Amino acid sequence: MEKKKVLVLPGDGIGVDVCNAALPIFDVLALPIELSFGDIGWSCWENEGTPIPVRTWDQISKSDAVLLGAITSKGKDEAEKALPKELQNKNWQYVSPVIQLRQQLGLFANIRPAHYINGDREPFDLCVIRENTEGLYAGFDFKGIPENLDNFLTHPNIGVYGPKEVAWSVRLQTKHGLSRLFKKAFIYAEDHGLKRVTFADKPNVMRESGKFAKDIFFDIASNYPDITADIHNVDAVALWLVKKPHEFGVIVAENMFGDILSDLVAGVMGGLGVAPSANIGSDIAYFEPVHGSAPKMAGKGKANPCALFMSIALMLDYLGYPDHASRLEVAVKHVIKSRVALSYDFGGDATTVEVAKAIIDAYRNQTEGRTVAILTIGDELLSGKSINTNLSDLSQIAEHKGYSVVRQIVCSDSVGDIEQTISKLAGDVDYLVLSGGLGPTSDDRTRFAVAEVAKESLVFNDCSWRHIESRLTNFNVAVDESNRVQAMFPETAAILSNPIGTANGFSLNIYGTKVLVLPGPPAEAKYLLDKYLAEIVNASNSTNSYKWSIMGVSEGEVGTFFETTLKKYDLKLHYLWKYPYVQVEAILPKGHTVADSTLRTIRKEFGKLLISESGEKASEIVSRQNLGINWESNSESISKNISKELSAITSNKNINTTIHFEIYPSLSELLNNKIFTGDCWLVCHDDNGNKDSISFPCRGSEIQVFIKEYLCNFVLRLSESNIKDAVC
Ligand code: NAI
Ligand code: MG
């Protein structure tokens, strides 16, 4: 396959910092994209008298897309001074490279999408499309009114200081420029599922150019009858963008109005640190963060790389990789929402590289272990009247299919609660599984909440209604009008047919998350999830995991040791505390391993307290090995109980060893006198003179579990079948 050629122009200032941090994402994307690098910006101007050298134009002409970091631009005088002596006074003009690129490459549309990321507000998904080549920035910008125009350009203020003390700019609008802009806006809306295109202008003040543009706008809109087209004053649009961004789809505007609105939406989205942009219009397109080079921050590792990642996502979409693009967006949003690594502008102290690494990890986790959140709905679950088996059953099904379940949530039947929870999770996980609230009664509100968040209306589905009628009739249940609601689904939903219950489920996409809505009855929910949640192919091969079960060491100590010892590895650590064990799991990307020397360090640290490297408990391993063991203990009844439990694990046939064990103080003293503080001792030996002892904190009756597990551990070390550590 021919590779797509992407030219990276880091530019200067923080442009270089964010590019260095973010570009490793291309190794993980593993797409047929070839990166090459070129020079642009202030240092080219300083050294060569042009911010875009000829060689860079040459590289651009051979590329499919350009990824730009940021470029410093300075005023006329400063630019002149920055030139080397031999290039000064030649009347060389510094023309912003960004403007040069847009004009010379014919990139007439500047695309600035803005998505909801986090915070307690209604999610939004909109895009400002700004005209790039004409309008007030067309270059008709003059000082002084020439004599031949002074009859034409009249204004009472001009006469005060005379026509020389005047500057004036022309807003150029051409039929060509506006037509291609509006067409682009409607096509963008169609491609991205946005249902409204708003033209932000000022037709009541700029009456001629406003009417001219308005007529062209509605003429083009008539070709897109499914998309609402409207015109509003740009100032009102600015107000509503802040108040109700969720009401907009595409906002299209001429150059200057669009320039202002697009920075406004960058702010609404969360600031310059996250806002991306694309410039399109010809065979080539360029993508860049909205922010500039922030020279004061350059080289300090403070810049937020999220905007560049978002710009890379736009570029991936443009190059024909929409799935990779939306996954990368989800990764950026995940890092921000879950506060994994936040740069200073989001209130954190993570460096540029740390944020970039967290995004790359989040991207990798999605592709190599896709994420699921489970949301169970119902007042009866919250009150505890019904046991919430769905939460664990549905999680198990998802995990079994290779997903990682990252959230389990219970919420009430209130539409508001359900909506808020869906909004928070949508865009953050790959799958959101909902169960409950699809019944016919007034407390079954799930479908209404989902439709509300998806901004879709509910439509009646005949086929589902026939299924409901026939099922109720078969079971001799009267068909009631209230059942009709169970045949209502959001417009774009796919119906998940439910042969074992009345209510069909449904699925739809909300902000990049696939939402599966299932009925509450456990058998139906499990059946539908099993059927409709696609299995991840080769899930178990996609990561490499190591496990350790350690007993008798506090979770804190274990955690500190593992964090330090495994610091240099690119992995995720999970801890599970199940007395008397801390189970540790390290998950590495496919193909990555932990060095043997590190594994030895771990074994040495925990010695006989490292029970297994498989996640199993000692009692589980002993039970599996079916060893013939005779257990003997001091005469007390409680240790007899332990002996009984141990005998159940081991075999009483083919006995080949007897293990004697004693506990101090005696168990009856410990338990009957309720001595729950201090340490107790376990001493054990076999008939061959192998012996062992351990002291451990007394935690009431729970110590019986400790004793059982430790004795099993002793047996394992005797048989040397598990840990090759010396028997003491
Ligand atoms: P700027 O966007 O570089 O910085 C404005 C302020 O926003 C910074 O001081 C910083 O506090 C914050 N900021 C910007 N990007 C950030 C990030 N990634 N993470 C965290 N905080 C961030 O705009 P300014 O200061 O007006 O311009 C600086 C230089 O950049 C100028 O020379 C300007 O001409 C150029 N510029 C270039 C652009 C481009 O390359 N397309 C766009 C805008 C400005
Ligand atoms: Mg701007």
pLDDT digits (tens, 9 = 90+) for 537-556: 444 445 678 999 999 888 88
Residue of 511, 327, 331 lying closest to 425 (CA atoms): 511
Q: What is the pLDDT of residue 177?
A: 95
Q: Whose CA is nearest to atom 44 of ligand 1?
A: 292
Q: Ligand 1 centre from 257 Cα, in Å?
A: 20
Confidence label for 442 from pLDDT (cuts 50, 70 and 90): confident
Q: Ligand 2 centre from 622 Cα, in Å?
A: 69
Distances (CA, A) of 578 to 419, 550, 639: 36, 10, 22
Q: Whose CA is nearest to atom 38 of ligand 1?
A: 292
| Nearest ligand (C-alpha, residue 13) | 1
Q: What is the pLDDT of residue 230?
A: 97
Separation CA 702–CA 206 (nearest Å): 81
| Nearest ligand (C-alpha, residue 292) | 1
Whether ligand 1 lies within 6 angstroms of the CB of 259 is answered as no
Q: Which helix (H) or strand (E) element contains residue 630?
A: strand 629-633
Mutation test residue for ligand 1: of 72, 95, 259, 291, the one with most atoms within 8 Å of CB? 291
pLDDT, average across residues 625-652:
79
Separation CA 436–CA 438 (nearest Å): 6
Whether ligand 1 lies within 6 angstroms of the CB of 292 is answered as yes
pLDDT, average across residues 471-488:
86
Q: 231 and 198 in contact (C-beta within 8 Å)?
A: yes
Q: What is the pLDDT of residue 541?
A: 47
Q: What is the pLDDT of residue 354?
A: 95
401 versus 279: the higher-pLDDT residue is 279
209's CB contacts (< 8 A; 6+ apart) are 171, 173
Q: What is the pLDDT of residue 368?
A: 58
Whether ligand 1 lies within 6 angstroms of the CB of 304 is answered as yes
pLDDT, average across residues 327-346:
88
Q: Ligand 1 centre from 51 Cα, in Å?
A: 18
Q: What is the DSSP string of 693-709?
A: EEEEE-BTBTHHHHHHH
Q: 235-244: long-range contacts at Cβ-Cβ below 8 A with a sequence spacing of 24 or more?
A: 235/202, 237/198, 237/200, 237/261, 238/264, 241/265, 241/268, 242/268, 244/122
Let me know if 569 is exposed, middle or buried by CB neighbors in 10 A (0-12, 13-18, 19+). Answer: middle
pLDDT tens figures, 563-602: 999 988 878 888 888 888 998 998 877 667 888 889 999 9
Q: What is the pLDDT of residue 627?
A: 82
∠ CA 725-727-728, rounded to 5°: 120
Q: What is the pLDDT of residue 81?
A: 84
Confidence label for 536 from pLDDT (cuts 50, 70 and 90): low
Q: What is the pLDDT of residue 408?
A: 96
Whether ligand 1 lies within 6 angstroms of the CB of 70 is answered as yes
Whether ligand 1 lies within 6 angstroms of the CB of 10 is answered as no
Order of strands, edge to edge, in the sheet holding 505-510?
A: 404-411, 371-377, 431-435, 513-518, 505-510, 494-496
Whether ligand 1 lies within 6 angstroms of the CB of 14 is answered as yes
Residue of 480, 407, 411 lying closest to 446 (CA atoms): 411
- For the cut 80, the answer to whether the pLDDT of residue 87 exceeds it is no
Whether ligand 1 lies within 6 angstroms of the CB of 21 is answered as no
Whether ligand 1 lies within 6 angstroms of the CB of 73 is answered as yes
683 versus 91: the higher-pLDDT residue is 683
Strand partners, 575: 584
422's CB contacts (< 8 A; 6+ apart) are 375, 432, 434, 449, 450, 453, 510, 515
Q: What is the pLDDT of residue 201?
A: 97
Residue of 514, 328, 484 lying closest to 422 (CA atoms): 514
Mutation test residue for ligand 1: of 72, 130, 293, the one with most atoms within 8 Å of CB? 293
55's CB contacts (< 8 A; 6+ apart) are 38, 39
Residue of 286, 280, 370 lying closest to 330 (CA atoms): 370
Rounded to the nearest integer, the mean pLDDT of the chain is 88
- Which atom in ligand 1 lies closest to the alpha carbon of residue 294? 3
Whether ligand 1 lies within 6 angstroms of the CB of 543 is answered as no
CB atoms within 10 A of CB 13: 24
Q: 664-669: long-range contacts at Cβ-Cβ below 8 A with a sequence spacing of 24 or more?
A: 666/634, 666/636, 667/636, 667/638, 667/639, 667/704, 668/636, 668/637, 668/638
Amino acid at position 81, single letter = K
Q: Ligand 2 centre from 260 Cα, in Å?
A: 6
Helices (H) and strands (E) in the chain, counts: 26, 28
3-state secondary structure of 6: strand
- For the cut 80, the answer to whether the pLDDT of residue 72 exceeds it is yes
Q: Whose CA is nearest to atom 43 of ligand 1?
A: 292
Mutation test residue for ligand 1: of 12, 96, 100, 272, the one with most atoms within 8 Å of CB? 272
Separation CA 91–CA 332 (nearest Å): 45
- Which atom in ligand 1 lies closest to the alpha carbon of residue 306? 18
Torsion of the alpha carbons at 524, 526, 527 and 533, rounded to the nearest 10:
130
Tokens representing 382 are 């919250």
Q: Ligand 1 centre from 15 Cα, in Å?
A: 9
Q: Provide φ and ψ at 152, rounded to 5°.
A: -90, -45
Q: Which helix (H) or strand (E) element contains residue 588?
A: strand 581-589
- For the cut 60, the answer to whether the pLDDT of residue 675 exceeds it is no
Q: What is the pLDDT of residue 540?
A: 45
- Which atom in ligand 1 lies closest to the alpha carbon of residue 18? 18
Separation CA 303–CA 298 (nearest Å): 8
Q: Ligand 2 centre from 641 Cα, in Å?
A: 77
Whether ligand 1 lies within 6 angstroms of the CB of 71 is answered as yes
| Nearest ligand (C-alpha, residue 261) | 2
Phi-psi map region of 193: left, alpha, beta (phi>0 left; psi -120 to 50 alpha): left
Which range, of 90-104, 271-285, 513-527, averages the lowest pLDDT?
90-104
- For the cut 90, the answer to whether the pLDDT of residue 95 exceeds it is no
Whether ligand 1 lies within 6 angstroms of the CB of 107 is answered as no
| Nearest ligand (C-alpha, residue 289) | 1
Q: Ligand 1 centre from 530 Cα, in Å?
A: 49
pLDDT tens figures, 375-420: 999 999 999 888 999 999 999 999 888 788 999 999 999 999 999 9
**pLDDT over 70 for what percent of the chain?**
94
| Nearest ligand (C-alpha, residue 279) | 1
Q: Provide φ and ψ at 160, rounded to 5°.
A: -60, -50
Q: Whose CA is nearest to atom 6 of ligand 1?
A: 294
- For the cut 70, the answer to whether the pLDDT of residue 724 exceeds it is no
Q: What does DSSP say about strands 371-377 and 543-551: parallel, antiparallel, or unpaired?
A: unpaired
Strand partners, 432: 373, 515
Q: What is the pLDDT of residue 722?
A: 39
Whether ligand 1 lies within 6 angstroms of the CB of 432 is answered as no
Tokens representing 494 are 């796919």
Separation CA 22–CA 113 (nearest Å): 20
**What is the Cα 35 distance to its own chain's centre?**
25
Q: Ligand 2 centre from 258 Cα, in Å?
A: 9
Q: What is the pLDDT of residue 636?
A: 66
Whether ligand 1 lies within 6 angstroms of the CB of 273 is answered as yes
Q: Whose CA is nearest to atom 1 of ligand 1?
A: 292
Rg (alpha carbons) of the chain, rounded to whole number: 34
pLDDT, average across residues 502-522:
91
Whether ligand 1 lies within 6 angstroms of the CB of 307 is answered as yes
pTM of the model: 0.60
Q: 612 and 584 in contact (C-beta within 8 Å)?
A: no
